[in-house]
């Protein structure tokens, strides 16, 4: 079943897709827009600058990232939808996106 989007979400999806296709930055171009910067500030304020995953575990950690629950590439219509965004610390963001973060230090098993 196809998701049902509001007209505003459909317009946002088209705008984000077009920007990603036309920019040398690709999908990262979205994160440099004033719309995203304003939305990011709003979500951080909403979540009191706390990492939501850490809070669920009973810890307090300062958030550094706003994360799309449904990924931007797959659901550009939800790029600016509050229900799709949560604040995370860098450790939790690495946990949900292990493919984006490279291992620190030497990772090769062979040592010469």
pLDDT of the residue at 101: 56
**Does a structural domain hold residue 109?**
no
**Does a structural domain hold residue 110?**
no
**Does a structural domain hold residue 112?**
no
**Does a structural domain hold residue 111?**
no
Residue 76: strand, helix, or coil: helix
Number of domains the chain is built from: 1
Which DSSP state fits 82?
Answer: G
Mean confidence (pLDDT) of the chain? 87
**Does a structural domain hold residue 61?**
yes
**Does a structural domain hold residue 1?**
no
- The domain of 85 spans 7-96
| pTM exceeding the 0.85 threshold for the entire prediction | no
What digits encode the pLDDT tens for the residues 33-62? 999 999 999 999 999 999 999 999 999 999
Residues 6+ apart with CB under 8 A from 80: 12, 35, 36, 39
**Does a structural domain hold residue 101?**
no
pLDDT of the residue at 26: 86
């Amino acid at each position: 079943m196809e998701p049902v989007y509001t007209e505003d979400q459909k317009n946002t999806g088209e705008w984000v897709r077009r920007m990603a296709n036309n920019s040398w930055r690709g999908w990262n171009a979205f994160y440099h827009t004033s719309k995203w910067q304003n939305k990011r500030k709003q979500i951080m304020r909403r979540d009191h600058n706390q990492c939501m995953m850490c809070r669920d575990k009973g810890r307090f950690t300062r958030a550094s990232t706003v994360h799309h629950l449904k990924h931007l590439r797959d659901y550009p219509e939800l790029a600016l939808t509050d229900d799709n965004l949560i604040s995370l610390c860098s450790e939790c963001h690495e946990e949900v996106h292990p493919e984006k973060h490279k291992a620190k230090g030497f990772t090769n098993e062979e040592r010469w």
